[in-house]
Amino acid sequence: MGMAVPIREGSPILTPGRVEPIRIVTKELALAEQFEAWRDFMAAAIDIKFPSGAESGFDAEQEVWNLGSMALARARVPGGGERIWHHLDRHPFDHWCLVLVIPDGERTAEPELFLRSLARPFEGHGSGADTIISLYVPRDLFRSGAAALDRLDNRIPPGPLAALLADYMLSLSRRLPDLPPEAFPAVIEATREIIGACLLPGADRLEAASDVLAASTVDRARRIVNQHLGASGFGPAQLGRMLGVSRSRLYRLFEPLGGVTAYIRRQRLLAAHRALLDPLETSAIVAISERVGFPDASAFSRAFRAEFGYSPTQARAALSRPTAAPSVRRPGNGVGGLSLGDILNRLGA
């Protein structure tokens, strides 16, 4: 038996003077279907469980704005019943998520601020009625500060700078509905500056200098890898020579990313993943696999499934269904069948 589609408002396209968000509202669904609709809308980014109480309803709503190279979401979730969520084990997104949790709809307790990497394991719990503002930031926007941000690992020390950043996120979420699209580039730059000013200044100078040097080398490595995705024989040896670093230094630089070989393979698979979810990409799957350095179609299919948990064929088939990716199980989507995953897939594109 199919599940009803949640109430969807707004438009994902540009309208005169402003950009409408993708909006999901569950309150007019049957009570037993509300939580699953919400879970499906979020499924491309996180998996949420509601061990008890789902049958009594989950009256929630969320708006998601695509700013071009960042995305901002503002959600209201109900209290009553523990929610458990975790990042996907094989995540197709390499973004940070800056999360501001405002308990009880901004009326009582102090807001809490967190920084999480979608590419790293995380499990969270909640049961209160909260307003949650989430800012999705691609890793490439903070190349030189990536190592320092990674060390925060969900911990943002309280203090005036954290409070300033929280105030900024709240203000941005309130003013976005009235901002014209031509203002978004300036908003992105201002947001980058305030995140850097609030989260990066406390790092030790020597350590920060080392981080900048390492990040610069890794950034060059990223560009080289992206330029050679189609060369099936390209690997650590070639990358090390092009960077001018020793084998041992290359491996140390990529250790936080799971190793250089794994990084190259993942970038190839991510490129294929983006192509397979691109409605304008008409190449055969075997042609896409060859283009990203997998001349053996069977090896590509095995690697793709191991990385994302579903096959290339299933990924492409998602284009014909009202979901963002195979991980979205039911139509918990915003207007036009769009979900949070659609926006995250398009950041920076």
For 249-283, b/e burial (b = at least 16 CB within 10 A) is ebeebbeebeebeebbbbbbbbbbbbbbbbeeeee
Q: Tens-of-pLDDT digits for all 349 residues of the chain? A: 333 334 444 333 333 355 778 888 888 888 888 888 888 888 777 878 876 666 778 888 988 888 888 889 998 888 777 777 777 665 556 788 898 988 865 454 678 888 888 777 777 777 677 888 999 888 777 777 777 787 776 778 778 788 888 888 888 888 888 888 888 888 888 888 888 888 876 544 344 445 555 666 777 788 888 889 888 889 999 998 888 888 888 888 888 778 899 999 998 998 999 888 888 888 999 999 999 999 898 999 999 998 888 899 988 887 665 444 443 333 344 444 566 776 776 665 4
Q: Which pLDDT belongs to residue 299? A: 92
H or E stretch covering 193 = helix 184-199
**Structure tokens belonging to residue 297:** 């179609």
Which residues make beta-bridge pairs with 62? 24, 75
For residue 321, what is the DSSP state?
T
DSSP letters for 62-93? EEEEE-SS-EEEEEEE--SS-EEEEE-SS-S-
Q: Residue 229: its pLDDT value, please?
A: 87
- Per-residue pLDDT reduced to its tens digit, 82-139: 777 777 665 556 788 898 988 865 454 678 888 888 777 777 777 677 888 999 888 7
Element (DSSP H or E) covering residue 46: strand 46-49
Upper half-sphere CA count for residue 147 (Cβ side, 13 Å): 20
User: Which domains does the chain possess?
Assistant: 7-202+320-346 (no CATH), 206-318 (1.10.10.60)
pLDDT tens, residue by residue, 191-222: 888 888 888 765 443 444 455 556 667 777 88
